[in-house]
A = this chain, B = another copy of it.
Amino acid sequence: MVSRPVRITVVGGASCDTHTAYLADRVGEGIARGGGVLISGGRSGVMEAASRGARLAGGMTVGILPGPSADDANEYVTIPIVTDMGQARNVINVLSGNAVIALPGAEGTLSEIATALKSDIVVVALAAWSEIAGVVTAATPEEAVRLAFEYARGS
Contact = CB atoms under 8 A, between A and B. Distances in A.
Contact of A37 (B64, B79, B85, B91): B79
A15 interface: no
Interface of A is mostly: mixed
A34 interface: no
A114 interface: yes
Contacts of A2: 55, 75-76
Contacts of A86: 68, 84-85, 91
Given A5-B79, A111-B115, A87 B87 contact: no
A7 B5 CA distance: 19
B68 A82 contact: no
A100 interface: no
A77 B55 CA distance: 21
Interface of A: 1-2, 4-5, 7, 37, 55, 60, 62, 64, 68, 70, 75-88, 91-92, 95-96, 106-108, 110-111, 114-115, 117-119, 134
